Each structure stands twice: as C-alpha cells, then as structure tokens.
Chain A
Amino acid sequence: METEKLAPITPDAARASLAEVDRVVTLTRQTIATSCTTPLFILWGIIWVIGFTATQFFPAWAFRLWLGLDLAGIAGSVLLGSSFRQAPVKGLNLGLGLISLAWLALLGYGALWAALLGPWELSHGSAWAVQGPLLGRKLAAFAATVCMFGYVVMGLWLGRFLLWLGLLVTAATVLGYYFAGDYFFIWMAFTGGGSLIAAGVLIRKFWR
C-alpha cells in the first residue's frame, strides 16, 4: 500500500486524468461489443447476401431458401452465443437470454402481421403472375425493416452504433423498394447484407 504524501493536483492534471478515464471506459465498452456482436453481424450479413441474391435469380425458391437460411442463422447464432463464454470479458449478464426472447417475439409478431395483412388471396392462379413479384418485394422489405426495428430498439439500450446501423439499413430498404424496381433483391443483398458485414468487419478492425 502506498503511504507517501500526495503532491497537489492541478486542475489541468485532473482534467487530463478524467479524459484518460473517459478514453479507457470507451475502449472497454468497445472491447465488450467487439467480443459479442461482430461474429453475429458478419453471420447475418452473409445470410442476407446469399438469401437476397438467390431470391433475385431464383424467386420461385425464395420461401424454402429463406426458411433454410434462417434456421442455419439461428443455429449459428446459438453456437456463437455459447462461444461468448470464452470471450475476453465473461459474466457480462447483458440479458442475452431476454434479448433472444425479444427477437423471437418480434419475428413472431412480424410473421403474424404479414399473415394478417398480406393479400394472400391474390397469390393464387393468374393473379400471382401480376401480384407475385410486387408481393415478394413487399414481404422482403417488411421482413428487413422488422429486423432493423429490432436493431433500432436494441440500439436505444446497448449503444448508438446499433441504432444508426438499423436506421441506415431501413433507409436503404425503403429507397430500394421505391426506386430499385426489379433489382430490389440484389440491392438488398448489397446494401442490407453488405452493411451488416461491413459493420462487423469495421468494429473488429477499429475497436480492437
């Protein structure tokens, strides 16, 4: 234990110490975020790129494809979640169980609203030829913005980065929905999936 007498601390020295404390606090929070979120961003970004690209070129397979990709994504997220136990920061108790439940609730309600609101009666017979492509785009934009709503809400609690990422991808989705026309799905692959992958890579690179 130190017993020497303390020399007077000047206001400038105190200010410098407080600035250093703020810097270290930010650095530590970024370490926590890096260890927990970047693998998930990259995983779901890859899923979006594959899913939307495949939907663009093989629209008839879209439903089965997304079902498989989403199941693979959920399994991958659970696997990554279990690896958090070996992360550099342990015992975080960020409420990851509650966050998972919140995501399940959000996606469940999203599916329910899509089932209730979608003009599914038009998806049969000859009407499908006219309505199908537009309905597919509507459904994709709806699903993407429901996910981004989750990011925005999480961002209010866990950090502004998630909030801005959610708003950015939402804006890109709306822009693509109205202006990308027949290229909407490939637009989503690049802007939506690309943003998630870029977010994961950038956090990993600059927050280390």
Chain B
Amino acid sequence: MPEIDLVIHTPARLRIMAALGALPPRAQIDFRTLGTSLDLTDGNLGAHLQTLEEAGYIKVEKSFVARKPRTHVAATARGRARFEGHVAALREICRV
C-alpha cells in the first residue's frame, strides 16, 4: 500500500521531486535552471534541497564549469522510489 511521504508532501518539495523524477537516471539539473523553472528563489530552493538531501532523496554536486561554480542536483534511487510511492498514494486518494 503506497504511503504519503511527509518530506515530499510540501508543495515546493513535491514540485522539486517531480522535476528531478522527470530526468533520466543519472542526469542532473543545474540549480539555477531548477529554481527558474519552478519559480523558486535561491534561498527557498536551497532550504528545500537541504531537507531533501538530509532525507537521502537527492544528491547535490558542486563543480566548476569554465571556472565558474555550478551546482547540479539529481534524485537518488531512494528519492525516486519515495516519490513514486507518494504519487501512487495520491492516486489512491483520488479513487476514494
């Protein structure tokens, strides 16, 4: 029986996990692109990403591209599984 995940349930984190879940496995999205497409400020996005990272649902990778720091974010296997379970639970509620 799929369960609602309390970490993902927050609207902003649900959208973040939806975006990361839509990426192919092993693909990572740029922090700025993620914030722009989800209409979240850097601070807001950073706080939600920290919560998701602490839960083990995402991994954050910092690197330098053309000498500029860039942060990339990806969902972990655990994060993808929890997100899919959360969506399945929402679908169950819709059927009630």
Q: Is the CB of B38 within 8 A of A24?
A: yes
Is the beta-carbon distance between B29 and A11 smaller than 8 angstroms? no
- Tell whether A125 is near chain B: CB-to-CB under 8 Å: no
CA distance A91 to B18 in the complex (A): 18
Which of chain B's residues have a CB closer than 8 A to the CB of A4? 6
How many angstroms from the CA of A32 to the CA of B22 in the assembled complex?
10
Q: Mark A10-28, 1 if CB is under 8 A from B, else 0.
A: 1100110110110011011
- Residue from A14, A28, A31, A90 in contact with B90 in the complex, judged by beta carbons closer than 8 Å: A14
Q: Does B87 contact A (CB under 8 A)?
A: yes
Residues of B within 8 A of A82 (CB): none
Q: Which residues of the partner chain B approach A20 to less than 8 Å between Cβ atoms? A: 11, 14-15, 18
Interface: A93 (CB within 8 A): yes
Q: How far is the CA of A78 from the CA of B4 in the complex (A)?
A: 45
Residue from A21, A29, A31, A90 in contact with B14 in the complex, judged by beta carbons closer than 8 Å: A21
Chain B interface main SS type: helix
| Least CB distance, A96 to chain B, in whole angstroms | 12
What range describes how many residues of A lie at the interface?
A: 20 to 34
Residue-by-residue, is B6-43 near A (CB-CB < 8 Å gives 1, otherwise 0)?
11011100110011011110111110110001100000
Does A92 belong to the interface (CB within 8 Å)? Answer: yes
Q: Say whether B27 contacts A11, CB under 8 Å.
A: no
Q: Does A1 contact B (CB under 8 A)?
A: yes
B4 touches A21 (CB 8 A): no
What would 20 A/B residue contacts be, using CB atoms closer than 8 Å?
A1-B7, A1-B54, A4-B6, A9-B93, A10-B93, A17-B11, A18-B90, A21-B18, A24-B18, A25-B19, A27-B19, A28-B18, A29-B22, A31-B37, A32-B23, A88-B33, A89-B29, A90-B30, A91-B26, A91-B28
